[in-house]
Amino acid sequence: MNKVIVKINSKQKNDKQNTIKMKALANAYTKNGILYVIYKEKDLNEEKETSTMLKIQENSLTLTRTGGVQQQQVFVEGKESVSDYITPYGNLKMKVKTHRLEIITGMKSTIKIDYALYINNSWQSDNELMIRLEPAN
């Protein structure tokens, strides 16, 4: 198990543009050629903790959240993925349509994803997600 720094930069574009940046210390390990990165994040009210796992394969990224919210999103270029987003306030049906997925692994890894987000079959936003992984010193 290695310690890594996860840096996330997420841009949402609809009638306006929102940017969310996050940084976390994570555990990372490789099993059967698949890179797993696990970190914890708090909700906006700092009340509930959510564990996030990134499962990084050659041509896909699976993001799984458990705890304060439950969700699984699968990003594969040119594909759609539908999942339930379960929160204490109710459940939503989420769909992501991945337009571009670029995964560069190494000592420092970079994942770039361009996707459209739909909630309950209604388009919400076009998104750019950049995830950087660096060794923690």
Helix (H, G, I), strand (E, B) or coil at 111: strand
Q: Per the domain annotation, does 71 fall within a domain?
A: yes
**Residue 71 is part of a domain; what is its CATH number?**
2.40.128.20
Q: Per the domain annotation, does 5 fall within a domain?
A: yes
- For residue 84, the enclosing domain spans 1-11+48-97+110-127
Q: Per the domain annotation, does 85 fall within a domain?
A: yes
The pair of three-digit structure tokens given for residue 113, joined into one six-digit string: 């994803």
The pair of three-digit structure tokens given for residue 133, joined into one six-digit string: 């992984």
Q: Per the domain annotation, does 67 fall within a domain?
A: yes
Cβ neighbours of residue 123 under 8 Å, at least 6 residues apart? 116, 117
Burial of residue 44, with CB atoms counted within 10 A of its CB: 0-12 exposed, 13-18 middle, 19 or more buried: exposed
List C-alpha distances in Å: 122 to 63, 110, 117.
21, 30, 8
Residue range 58-103, pLDDT digits in tens: 999 999 999 988 999 999 999 999 999 998 889 999 999 999 999 9
Q: What is the mean pLDDT of the chain?
A: 93
For residues 113 and 128, the answer to whether their CB atoms sit within 8 Å is yes
Q: Torsion-angle region of residue 106: left (phi > 0), alpha (psi -120 to 50) or beta?
A: left
**Cut 0.85: pTM above it:** yes
Domain count, the chain: 1
Q: Per the domain annotation, does 24 fall within a domain?
A: no
Most confident of 11-15, 49-53, 78-82: 78-82
